[in-house]
Structure 1
């Protein structure tokens, strides 16, 4: 698909972007914390609610529709991520799912075993596994961050991952620096020692086409509110591991996958919204199947975001007062930019942009606290983070450039 990216069509698909004479329009640069919701997602949620809600496995129409809707959601996620529908389990969010999975993995971890996490990751992909290690007397080891390149030091994999390693948890891409990690290289080492390999793809799914089967990992976690949907999390667990995974559950609840991980009544309206969010991505693509359309749509999103990235990366990288935390050329990255300003508390800057330019720009450590400590950004209030989504425009980036130059001028006074 070589046609220009349909930015006006995309923006029209998001209710939060519609102009309203009763409110000032906002510029949303906070996608890494959660994108705006596609109208198709909101409509799917309201349709499920309006047409009559019900719990599962009944003989009456609303219950049957709920069963069918959840089955369709699994199928849609399977097409988005290229996995089997039976490998998809829903939960409150990625963090809650990770803690639940960690608890179920406890039976496979013994005292003295090693669990490997990274210094680059969001703590949602660190603390569940660290807690598991503490409970079982296992040893926690970190793949270290290179503070010069903002990438993981993978040259030490043979030393960090050993024959005693039983579990490895790595983020596919950083929600702060945008760095995309070489998952294939880590996977090969994980397979060599027989370790369970877990990937946090929360920040990756909105920007990169994902192929669970090709990745060959054991567990992948993500959240719909990061890719235009409602607040709901998903885990994809390879059937070979999922089948033997013991879980804490009610005695009468289903024993088979994927249901056994889904304790209690799920958020049915959010699952309906997830279908609508995936339909939005599908609408941007081409092909004969939903998977082909989703892959094409994600490739189209990535190409457009790459165009926007070029407009902002060189700008931030050439301002003396700005320190940009960005991996060098040649390293794949998402359109996510973390920076600090000399002599400025990051929260002061984001508040200024909100007041003067109606821009939603986030500040803080974004739960990547290990990296924040290592890079020493807490004395500046953490990072300022600009994250792009397919509804952002070149015009919005030009306004940000204008605003930052004005802010720096004002700050000198």
Structure 2
């Protein structure tokens, strides 16, 4: 496997010239110049509503089609099942409303306390409107693991949907989604996977994960701010969302409300192309994506071990969760210091590691952190050893 050349990677990120060590990638990564250039080119070229008559119409059509192909290569899915939305949250609310039309009193929905609220609240609220029952699954407070058997125990012949994260955005836990999906399908339920925090850190194969829906956010993997939903086209064909009368009823267009943000889609294609070129020279983009993301994963795991070892060596630091499989995400507190105080101290040193529940409000409460949460430090492809050492030095100083 080709290793990631982090010095070369960093040269593509103008924001890094400010000298800040960014551990805030889980909330939104920094952006390479190639993405900004693609957005600017699209906005300054002749552009119109999609069509086939004028060059401007054809350009808009190709931007959309190109972005669908790029996402398909990133996720290993069918381009005809790629839906673009304002955000992952919006996409999830849209799907929840459509699915819940068929739910009845006595039906059940399973959610986990490990998840970001965007993969909890839409389902809880949809279930409440339908009179369905919500089944909650906790996670091990010490390890941060989500046991498959605990999910399986909540399934029944009345289960209509299981919502589960592919990686916790605070603890980094990577549940066994494939096993959870298999158990849910045995019960006759659909599975909605939040892939927002997994996609930036590892090769993704939605078919191997086994979920029916997979949602992610390009701005977490170097791209612009919008959301993506991937599902099998034949599943989407069975769903009828509310839409305007003149708008297309084709899949996936029937799920996309209004005119798409062409410039953001062009930026998403550029982000995926950038990821694909980080550590691979293969001919097809899907292969380049898999090889490059494997290199990203190896780079981040190596640095993350350095970060964890360093944090564990600092007296007064408490790390939350220690799952066997995880993304490079550390969630921690410092004894005698409010988490916001720790974050502000680090920011003053040019180290961005924010403190919050980060919308994983159920996880924060489950861990006993209430609504305040803890400090989160997440790695990205552009993180280097100097960044990690600066973070450790800052935490060590405030812990003394």
What TM-score does the superposition give when structure 2 sets the normalisation length? 0.97
1:198 to 2:192 alignment:
yes
Aligned to 1:362: 354
Q: CA deviation at 1:344?
A: 0.8
Distance 1:238 1:49 in 2: 31
Gaps of 5+ in 1: none
CA contact (8 A) 1:286 1:292 kept: no
Aligned to 1:75: 69
1:281 to 2:275 alignment:
yes
Q: Deviations over 1:373-392 (max 9, x none)?
A: 1211137x311000000101
Distance 1:139 1:197 in 2: 16
CA contact (8 A) 2:196 2:216 kept: yes
**Secondary structure at the residue paired with 1:304?**
helix
Distance 1:219 1:341 in 2: 38
Q: Deviations over 1:203-247 (max 9, x none)?
A: 000001111122221100000000000001000012221011110
Distance 1:42 1:164 in 2: 47
Q: Deviations over 1:258-284 (max 9, x none)?
A: 000001111111011001100111112
Distance 2:240 2:302 in 1: 46
Q: CA deviation at 1:12?
A: 0.8
Distance 1:64 1:233 in 2: 23
Distance 1:109 1:256 in 2: 25
Distance 1:191 1:155 in 2: 15
In the alignment, which of 329, 332, 338 is matched to residue 345 of structure 1?
Answer: 338
Q: CA deviation at 1:317?
A: 2.1
CA contact (8 A) 1:57 1:67 kept: yes
Q: Deviations over 1:25-70 (max 9, x none)?
A: 2111100000001211111100101112222125211111010111
Distance 2:128 2:370 in 1: 27
Aligned to 1:126: 120
Aligned to 1:16: 15
1:154 to 2:145 alignment:
no
Aligned to 2:4: 5
Distance 2:42 2:315 in 1: 52
Aligned to 2:163: 169
**Number of residue equivalences:** 399
Q: CA deviation at 1:156?
A: 2.6
Distance 2:177 2:205 in 1: 12
Gaps of 5+ in 2: none
Distance 1:316 1:122 in 2: 25
1:405 to 2:396 alignment:
yes
CA contact (8 A) 2:219 2:225 kept: yes
Q: Deviations over 1:81-134 (max 9, x none)?
A: 011110001010000110011111122212210000101000000011111101
Q: CA deviation at 1:154?
A: 2.4
CA contact (8 A) 1:143 1:153 kept: no
In the alignment, which of 229, 234, 238 is matched to residue 232 of structure 2?
Answer: 238
- Aligned-residue Cα RMSD (Å) equals 1.2
Distance 2:113 2:395 in 1: 30
The within-5 A match list for 1:19-34 is 19=17, 24-34=18-28
CA contact (8 A) 2:46 2:55 kept: no
In the alignment, which of 355, 380, 388 is matched to residue 389 of structure 1?
Answer: 380
The runs of at least 4 aligned residues of structure 1 exceeding 6 Å deviation read none
Distance 2:146 2:108 in 1: 19
